[in-house]
Amino acid sequence: MARKTIKELEAELAASQAATVAAETKNVELVAEMEALPTLVETPKASDIMTGDEVDLAIENAELKALLAKNTAHTNESESRLMSMINAMEEAGGDTGACLTFTPDEYRAHSAASGRIMGRLPSQKTKCTIEELRAAINSDKTPSWLMEKHGMTEFDLQQLIWKLSTQELRDKPIKLNFKRDFFGKEA
């Protein structure tokens, strides 16, 4: 291969630069021509493209809206049925059938008049759950009230207290004083 002279290299460089200028000019013309063309479809923005999680959330949101609409319609229908029943009872003189509503003291008096003790027969024992025991303690009910309500003995109540203390993972059982008719408060 023969060596090229500086003149030949300069001529090749000039030809290469001319080709580059011609290609750049052609590129500018093509870009201008492309921008002048009407766009058939608008290019979406990156923020408009939903991810898989966003699609799942949109579907779930649509399902929840449909469920809410269904429940609202059902609630309105139920409410209208109930109100029509109440209106019919009022027109009949306020008779609600056999449904009675009492305060706790009225219930005790009504039960006593019926020969019962808070709804149970005097010879019956009803089951007191540990959840009911916790609610009674939190409501400042007395041990005698709880024993009367369920027909239980002091031994039965003590066993229930130990079960509650075990379930609540206590180191010491809940205090119970039958003489003072008192459940001990937590320390």
- Please indicate, yes or no, whether residues 113 and 152 belong to a single structural domain of this protein: no
Asked if residue 156 is part of any domain, the answer here is yes
DSSP annotation string for 130-171:
HHHHHHHHHTT--HHHHHHHHT--HHHHHHHHHHHHHHTT-S
Instruction: Please check whether residues 116 and 130 belong to one and the same domain.
Output: no
The reported pLDDT for the residue numbered 94 is 61
Q: What is the pLDDT of residue 152?
A: 92
Residue 139 counted as domain residue: yes
The answer to the question of residue 41 being in a domain is no
User: Does some domain include residue 19?
Assistant: no
- Of 67, 102, 121, which residue sits at a domain end? 121
How big, in percent rounded to 5, are the helix, strand and coil portions of the chain? 60, 5, 35
The label of the residue with tokens 């209106």 reads: 87
Task: Name residues of the chain where pLDDT drops below 70.
Answer: 1, 39-41, 93-98, 185-187
**Angstrom distances, CA of residue 82 to CA of 75, 79, 88:** 10, 5, 10
Residue 69 maps to a domain = no
Q: From 90, 121, 152, give the residue that closes a domain.
A: 121
Total domains in the chain come to 2
Phi, psi for residue 20 in degrees, rounded to 5: -65, -45
Residues 116, 131 share a domain: no
Residues 172 and 174: their CA atoms lie apart, in Å, by 7
Same domain flag for 136 and 91: no
Q: What is the pLDDT of residue 50?
A: 80
**Domain span at 99:** 82-121
Would you say residue 65 lies in a domain?
no
Q: Is residue 87 part of a domain?
A: yes
DSSP state of 120: B
CA distance 125 to 136: 17
Give yes or no: residues 101 and 138 share one domain: no
Q: In the prediction, which pLDDT does 187 show?
A: 42
Q: What is the pLDDT of residue 186?
A: 52
115 shares its domain with 144: no
Q: Would residue 152 count as lying in a domain?
A: yes
Report pLDDT for 55.
87
110 and 130 part of one domain = no
